[in-house]
Amino acid sequence: MSGADRVIVFDTTLRDGEQAPGASMNLQQKLQVARALAQLGVDVMEAGFPVASPGDFQSVEAIARQVEGPTICALARAVRPDIDAALQALSPAPRKRVHVFLATSPIHRQHKLKMSREQVVRASSESVAYARERCEDVEFSPEDAARTEPDFLCEVVERAIEAGAGTVNIPDTVGYAVPEQFAELFRHLRAKVRGIERIVLSVHCHNDLGLAVANSLAALRAGARQVECTVNGIGERAGNCSLEEVVMAIRTRSDYLGLRTGIRTENLAAASRVVTAATGFVVARNKAVVGQNAFAHEAGIHQHGMLSHAQTYEVMRPEDVGWRSTSLVLGKHSGRHALHARLKEMGHQLEPAQIEQVFEELKKLADKKKEIYDGDLDALLVGLFQNGSGRRWQLVSLNAMSGTGSPPSAAVALLRKDGKKLEEAATGDGPVDAVFKCIERITGVSATLKDFHVKSVTAGEDAQGEVVVVVEHEGRSFRGRGLSTDIVLASAEAYLEVVNRIAAGRLLRKAPPEPEVVCGAV
């Protein structure tokens, strides 16, 4: 295959993926993910939207400074302050890209932007030119391109190319496209837009109809040479095109597609784990490529076939995506060295202080549980990176009673950040309800429980229970997670995390920007 068959992998886990409600990562978590993406060999990494919040700015800057390998990209609306912020945050990066976007579809022009076609063309070409004067590598995205009139789209794209865009991305922002029609749009652009052969056409799909990967492949077949995607397919609503799926489709069906990427696919499972650990979003068991069951065979007839020849029922080999045959990791007597080695194998690159922290937690866990599996380690890391410092409330003690004959009750003691210890007791419909009531009374934060969900992290009677709670507070959703071999304790930790989030007002940055500036993203 020649250079023309090479597909540029543009990862947007840290920008579009992070926009998923409840996925917000702290700086440490973003750096973890960025390092895993560099290991994976993505060509471009969209690190964030610097103007959106000081936190976003800092994380883009930190990634630009610390992460080597990929081109680091930052998102900007088609206005100068956004582009300035993006450039400033990107300045330490050896290779940088500014990604300018402006919506072009009629519905966005009329209802969101209140701009005419002419205004949209002018604003996009002017901002691309402004960015290009300051940065060699500029990408332009006409937001909601899939619902834009094709000829108007051609005009916008042509003007963006004239203004200096080196990559033009065609986003299906709302997940509306279907493969053949979407491919037709790419062919139309290639046939009609002057100068299109000079730039890289890119595709960015959302999965609202479950078609993100299919639409991306159709666009690549029709001439796109950059695919925008996220690890585990995380993203707003139903998510983005999944990196591991599109990459493995390109690799597995190179016979038909005639394309290749630069991804080191043997690091896919590790990258998936790191993203799960950072976001707390667990992938479905039956998720393609990285789900727990992706390479598991239950049916007897399949097992028989597999034993005779693996390819009878598998189109990929587990080792191609970094699956290991064994998942048992550590026992009570494993040392730091074994832990370090295992974490590294799993794709988690931690600082020495973090490894020490994991080691301490692991020792505590090993007292409660004989064998520790990869799943336990992942779950532990999720908690470690999510909680961190700055929590307003911490659990000191908890006692819960349930049984026949007396109402369930609980007594909880919490430590407030200022060092004050507060206690409460309550009865409830069950021990968990009683614990939640105690926490509400102590913290004064009341929230409506929307979802409560217990799952076992690994197998066995001493397996850890993972509790996820989703609550609503003043019209917003908050998500918390707790992990313990005792599920009442795990429930308390999960609820406390939610209370800490509410108290910290962390999700305030998800509030819509002021009305005069354009909201949304590609």
Binding site for Mn ion (CB under 5 A): 16, 522
The least distance separating Mn ion from the CB of residue 70, rounded to whole angstroms, comes to: 19
List the one residue out of 102, 118, 61, 66 whose CA is nearest residue 85.
61
Nearest distance from C-beta of residue 494 to Mn ion, angstroms: 29
Nearer to Mn ion, 19 or 500 (CB): 19
Query: In this structure, are strands 465-473 and 138-143 parallel, antiparallel, or unpaired?
Result: unpaired
Q: How far is the CB of 234 from Mn ion (least distance, A)?
A: 11
Q: Compute the distance between CA of residue 53 and CA of residue 76 in angstroms, rounded to an integer.
A: 12
State which residue, 25 or 522, has the beta carbon closest to Mn ion. 522
Q: Phi/psi of residue 305, each to 5°? A: -60, -45
Toward Mn ion, which CB reaches closer, 445 or 522?
Answer: 522
Nearest approach, Cβ of residue 16 and Mn ion (Å): 4
How far apart are alpha carbons 371 and 382 in whole angstroms? 19
CB of 142 to Mn ion, least distance (A): 13
Question: For Mn ion, which is the closer residue by CB, 33 or 439?
Answer: 33
- In the bound complex, what is the minimum distance in angstroms from residue 377's beta carbon to Mn ion? 31
Q: How far apart are CA 519 and CA 314, in angstroms?
A: 44
d(C-alpha 120, C-alpha 142), whole Å? 10
Q: Which residue number, 141 or 387, has a Cβ lying nearer to Mn ion?
A: 141
Nearer to Mn ion, 208 or 371 (CB): 208
Minimum distance between the CB of residue 20 and Mn ion, rounded to whole angstroms?
A: 10
DSSP annotation of 514 reads P
How far, in Å, CA of 122 to CA of 278, rounded?
40
Question: Maximum distance among all alpha carbons in the chain?
Answer: 80
Least distance from C-beta 161 to Mn ion, angstroms? 22
Of the CA atoms within 13 Å of residue 196, those in its CB half-sphere come to: 23
- Six-digit token string for 3: 């250079």
Which residues fall within 8 angstroms of residue 292, CB to CB, at 6 or more apart? Answer: 283, 285
To 5 degrees, how large is the angle CA 368–CA 370–CA 372?
95
Q: Which is nearer to Mn ion, 85 or 170 (CB)?
A: 170
Token pair in block for residue 244: 């591991």
Instruction: Measure the CA–CA gap between 269 and 281, rounded to whole angstroms.
Output: 15
Q: Among residues 202 and 443, whose Cβ is nearest to Mn ion?
A: 202
Cβ-proximal residue to Mn ion, closest one: 16
CB of 273 to Mn ion, least distance (A): 23
If the CB atoms of residues 233 and 375 are measured against Mn ion, the closer one turns out to be 233
Backbone angles phi, psi at 172, to 5 degrees: -100, 75
- The CB density around residue 434, as the number of other CB atoms within 10 Å, is 23
